[in-house]
Amino acid sequence: MSDTVQNYVPGEYPDQPPPIGQRGIMLWLKTNLFSSWINTLMTLFSIYLLYLIVPPLLNWTVFDAVINATSRAECREIDTGACWAFIANRINILTYGFYPDESQWRVNLSFVLLIAALVPVLFDNVPFRKFGLIYAVAYPFIAGWLLLGGLGLEPVGTDEFGGMMLNTIVGVTGITFSLPLGIALALGRQSHLPIVRTVSICFIEFIRGVPLITLLFVASTMLNYFLPPGTTFDLLLRVLIMVTLFASGYIAEVVRGGLQSIPNGQYEAANSMGLKYWQSMRLVILPQALKVSIPGIVNTFIGLFKDTTLVLIIGLLDVLGIGRSSLADTKWNGLSNEVYISIAIFFFIACFGMSRYSIYLEGKLEKGHKR
């Protein structure tokens, strides 16, 4: 009944901003932090906890930390915080293992090329994506040549691989090959052909019923009993195969969940159109099933990447193995915090990256095709 409302002709009322106190930062604070007395109490308690934790943590990791020193004793003389000098001192072996210094550019180059190969695979809006994808298919061979040598490059044995490089190789290989294998197993499990179905089910259930460490032990020792005597079979290659098979079992089950979420009508529509089995899978069923499976697939990949540290049990020196053994150095005694935190940061960056990418991908695929 107020006069201000009457000033406008019906249908001409202009858009107005909400009143003061109903917008902006004050509203956000009020609704999110101080909406009730319990909420206010929890807000204040949280601030107190942050006050207790954050300043000492920052002091230790940043302000009181030492970057340049030659021993732990020297670190302590300079300041009381973290002795990052140790990590700086060991960064080479933590990164490359025992890879020869003069050839380490090959590792760096293959890493840069890996990023270049990933971009066209992960993002569909990059220019020249077709060529990028062809290059991505060729990448494993290029990387294998760069890392192992031969054909004009100094050969390097896989026993010299180690550190973060080893984790990355095992992780990336496992992820790359377990996805197609896992999809094939998931389709095999749903197959109408009894032999294909039985083999797929047995394989998946065996893999899921056995710990990865057991498989790695099998890879490192028992495989020799099964192979003809005299065959040498690179230990790293065995590990790569085992990790890939292991992850593919899990991927298969995740993808099977996705496949089951696709209504029967989609199969019928694809069939009645005359699409062949592989066409209907590739064009109709899998794009939808994989979209549903993304969180589970990425979850498996993150688990796989972290499980690459298990190779230290069979004597491969990954970043964790090298970190642990470097703790034995008397000159740098007692710096386990620094070592394990650094390793944790390495894994966190990789796994968080994967997690963010999966969220990006879900968001992108969500657009438009709501059912």
The contact set with other proteins (CB under 8 A) reads 263, 265-266, 268-276, 279, 283-284, 287-288, 291, 365, 368-371
Contact criterion met (CB below 8 Å) for 82 and 336: no
Cα–Cα distance, 47 to 32 (Å, whole number): 14
CB of 10 to other proteins, least distance (A): 30
CB of 195 to other proteins, least distance (A): 18
- For every residue of 329-350, DSSP letters joined together read -GGGTT-HHHHHHHHHHHHHHH
Cα–Cα distance, 115 to 136 (Å, whole number): 10
Cα–Cα distance, 95 to 138 (Å, whole number): 25
- By beta-carbon proximity to other proteins, the closer residue of 348 and 360 is 360
- By beta-carbon proximity to other proteins, the closer residue of 266 and 326 is 266
Two structure tokens written together for 225: 């009993």
Give CA 92 to chain center in angstroms.
23
- By beta-carbon proximity to other proteins, the closer residue of 266 and 355 is 266
CB-based contacts of 323, cutoff 8 Å, min separation 6: 94, 339, 340, 342, 343
CB-based contacts of 14, cutoff 8 Å, min separation 6: 8
CB of 33 to other proteins, least distance (A): 38
CB of 193 to other proteins, least distance (A): 13
CB of 288 to other proteins, least distance (A): 5
CB of 364 to other proteins, least distance (A): 12
- By beta-carbon proximity to other proteins, the closer residue of 50 and 283 is 283
Contact criterion met (CB below 8 Å) for 215 and 242: yes
Name the amino acid, one letter, at 303.
Answer: G
User: 178-188: buried (b, 16+ CB within 10 Å) or exposed (e) per residue?
Assistant: bbebbbbbbbb
Name the amino acid, one letter, at 363.
Answer: G
- By beta-carbon proximity to other proteins, the closer residue of 201 and 361 is 361
- By beta-carbon proximity to other proteins, the closer residue of 103 and 191 is 191
CB-based contacts of 59, cutoff 8 Å, min separation 6: 81
Cα–Cα distance, 142 to 144 (Å, whole number): 5
Which residues on adjacent β-strands are paired with residue 66? 83
Helices (H) and strands (E) in the chain, counts: 17, 0
CB of 272 to other proteins, least distance (A): 4
Contact criterion met (CB below 8 Å) for 108 and 93: no
Cα–Cα distance, 78 to 337 (Å, whole number): 18
- By beta-carbon proximity to other proteins, the closer residue of 276 and 356 is 276
- By beta-carbon proximity to other proteins, the closer residue of 195 and 371 is 371
Contact criterion met (CB below 8 Å) for 318 and 166: yes
CB of 264 to other proteins, least distance (A): 9
- By beta-carbon proximity to other proteins, the closer residue of 217 and 267 is 267
CB of 133 to other proteins, least distance (A): 19
